[in-house]
Chains A and B, each alone.
Chain A
Amino acid sequence: MVALTSEPIDVAAALTFLQSEQAGAIDFFLGVVRDNTQDRSVDRLEYEAYDRMALSEMQKIADDAQQRWPILRYTIIHRKGILQIGEIAVLIGVSTAHRAAAFEACRYIIDTIKQTVPIWKKEVFTDGEEWVNAHP
């Protein structure tokens, strides 16, 4: 399943969702808000999404991953709104029979999300703010 949410991401619920009797491996990738970028001190991040397209692009990535690896279950959840240091911005979870496919699929999904899904993050510093990747 893919989702956008304004609520904190529930890792335990995602784990329960991914479990299956055929699954020998469950991989998670958690993208977390850190307190600095390029030596600037970050106060918080603000995420914004073009919801309908973000969901459809995330679904395309999930469908692609399912074509490439024998995925049993997957979950892709992205936060929106204001996030504080330490909060989970994105969760990717994949269950497969064996670990190699779970690692590879997880990495493919997060790397592709960063390239194509219309979600934007603004870094709010202690001394200013900036939309990430927006400027040359």
Chain B
Amino acid sequence: MDSSVSVLLFGITRDLTGQSAVSVPLTEGDNVGDLINQLHQNYPALAGIRSLLVAVNGEYAESEQILVHHDEIALIPPVSGG
């Protein structure tokens, strides 16, 4: 079953894409690493960022974590709070 997920964007990733969320096509069994690859393909400007992490349902995720379409997914560029 193919579907898509919505990915929340913050900081520089929002500025580079001009959007606060983007839809990314997902095939069943796709993991966080696949999502990052898709995003890099669709938005080549993301390659200029020092590092990109992914949060799934509010927790940092490893690249092997499998995604499902109702997950809340966010792209986390280098943080700079404080």
Contact = CB atoms under 8 A, between A and B. Distances in A.
Does B bind A? yes
Interface of A: 31, 47-50, 52-54, 56, 78, 89-90, 110, 113-122, 131-136
B1 interface: no
A113 B81 contact: yes
Given A52-B58, A134-B11, A134-B49, A47 B81 contact: yes
A114 B79 CA distance: 7
Contact of B79 (A52, A90, A115): A115
A78 B80 CA distance: 12
The contact size tier of chain B is 20 to 34
17 contacts: A50-B8, A53-B55, A54-B81, A90-B81, A113-B81, A114-B80, A115-B79, A116-B60, A118-B55, A120-B11, A120-B77, A120-B79, A121-B80, A133-B50, A133-B78, A133-B80, A134-B50
Contacts of B78: 133-134
Contacts of A113: 81-82
Interface of B: 8, 10-12, 14-15, 48-50, 55, 58-60, 74, 76-82
B80 A119 contact: yes
A133 to B, nearest CB: 4
A50 B11 CA distance: 10
Contacts of A135: 48-50
B81 A117 contact: yes
Contact of A31 (B12, B74, B82): B82
Contacts of A118: 10, 55, 74, 76, 79, 81
A54 B82 CA distance: 12
B74 A131 contact: no
B80 A131 contact: yes
B82 A114 contact: yes
A31 B80 CA distance: 12
B79 A110 contact: no
A136 B50 contact: yes
